[in-house]
Structure 1
Amino acid sequence: MNNEGVDKSKRQFLTSALTVVGAVGTGYIAVPFLAQMQPSVKAMAAGAPVEVDISKIEPGQLLRVAWRGKPVWILNRTPTVLETLKTLDDQLRDPLSQESIQPPSTKNPVRSIKPEIFVAVGLCTHLGCSPTFRPEIAPKDLGPTWKGGFFCPCHGSRFDLAGRVYRGVPAPTNLEIPPYRYVSDTQLIVGEATEGASA
């Protein structure tokens, strides 16, 4: 083949133009493909921290909120409940919460940052059922030793009002404590750890 009459600048221009068109076309194909790999707005919101106003929770009352698709309980414990928690250690599987999932800021006997406000994921650690809040003392169906707590109707697991599991029930560990922190005395954020702690 004879290349004498070929305009090399024209060939180079056509090659460059074709490369640019190919790159733009690849970009138009790649952008939607990569965008669909990002989590949806709904998914991002489901995992986002939740701010909760605790000012209206009366002593003895339980507030339920959702975080990451899970129920989270916020309980305002009375001074009587806090005193009762001190008497239950011999009935509990892990009274010191050594095998529990909880932030370092809640590694204490009451498993909370502020003693009166208890925050926990409301799912049984056995099979993930949601226990019921049973604050009454010694109801007939739970027996004379019941001092109030959370009862899982699925398989009978029992937890005290610090989310600690009783001995002899199917649940292997205490209720999970999510990361949380206080913004003020009346506001807390579930899903964010306190300063200096990791989530």
Structure 2
Amino acid sequence: MSNVPVNNGRRRFLTAATAVVGGAGVVGAAVPFIASWNPSARAKAAGAPVEVNIGKLQPGQLIRAEWRGKPVYVVRRSEQTVSNLAKHDDQLRDPNSEKAQQPVYATNAYRSIKPEFLVALGVCTHLGCAPTHHAGDFDQFVEGVPNGFFCPCHGSKFDMAGRVFQGVPAPLNLVVPEHSYINDDTLLIGVAQGDA
């Protein structure tokens, strides 16, 4: 045992300095750990709304966009296509879209905000294949219906409102995602009408 007097001031300084350095180490380790809980930039982008320019889309044309890693079909329907939608209701599995495959504001005969535009996920509700758009030659699959979507994987058929025909493997209509219009030429996929 030494007879050297204890320096309490130095002891308090070393204790405080050790606590500060230890606290800084804890904060330094916690910040990256907590930051790792935030979604990545890629994940944020995958769920972000997508703007689609529809200004040059002609009646009968389809453009594809990608939202949340899935294809979205945007079709400009002609007046004749819109007026023909009700003519084959008796051949559809869910003609009134009673099963919730669309937002409330798109629960109508057109399954859309604007009758001339169909916005639907290009994913078959059977096993997730991509239906093909047939403009003018869909009657080879459904007699008397000139336009629609045919899924080549298992033969599911959908009309130009994305409603599924009877007697096919797909159990539900195509999904209509949340969408809105920024202006006459710009569609916003992923944001509900009224929330834009």
Q: Provide TM-score, normalisation by structure 2.
A: 0.92
Q: State the partner residue of 1:189.
A: 188
**Structure 1, residues 149-199: CA drift from partner, whole Å, max 9, x if none?**
1111111111000000111111111000010111111111101001169xx
Given that 2:49 and 2:190 are in contact with CA atoms closer than 8 Å, whether structure 1 keeps it comes out as yes
Q: Per the alignment, do residues 3 and 105 of structure 1 end up closer, same or farther by CA in structure 2, a change over 3 Å counting? A: farther
Structure 2 unpaired stretches of 5+: none
Q: Per the alignment, do residues 74 and 143 of structure 1 end up closer, same or farther by CA in structure 2, a change over 3 Å counting? A: closer
Q: State the partner residue of 1:104.
A: 104
Q: State the partner residue of 1:148.
A: 147
**Displacement after TM superposition at 1:135 (Å):** 1.9
CA RMSD across the alignment: 2.1
Q: State the partner residue of 2:134.
A: 134
Q: State the partner residue of 1:70.
A: 70
Q: Per the alignment, do residues 58 and 13 of structure 1 end up closer, same or farther by CA in structure 2, a change over 3 Å counting? A: same
Distance in 1, Cα, partners of 2:3 & 2:153: 85
Q: State the partner residue of 1:162.
A: 161
Given that 1:149 and 1:158 are in contact with CA atoms closer than 8 Å, whether structure 2 keeps it comes out as yes
Distance in 2, Cα, partners of 1:106 & 1:40: 32
User: Which amino acid is 2:171 matched to?
Assistant: P
- Any runs of at least 4 consecutive aligned residues in structure 1 with deviations exceeding 4 A, and if so which? 1-4
Given that 1:100 and 1:175 are in contact with CA atoms closer than 8 Å, whether structure 2 keeps it comes out as no
Q: State the partner residue of 1:28.
A: 28
User: Which amino acid is 2:183 matched to?
Assistant: S
Q: State the partner residue of 2:170.
A: 171
Q: Provide TM-score, normalisation by structure 1.
A: 0.90
Given that 1:58 and 1:76 are in contact with CA atoms closer than 8 Å, whether structure 2 keeps it comes out as yes
Fraction of identical pairs, as percent: 51
Decide which moves more: 51-60 or 31-40: 31-40
**Structure 1, residues 72-127: CA drift from partner, whole Å, max 9, x if none?**
01100001101110111111111111113211110101000000011001100111
Given that 2:138 and 2:149 are in contact with CA atoms closer than 8 Å, whether structure 1 keeps it comes out as no
Q: Per the alignment, do residues 3 and 73 of structure 1 end up closer, same or farther by CA in structure 2, a change over 3 Å counting? A: farther
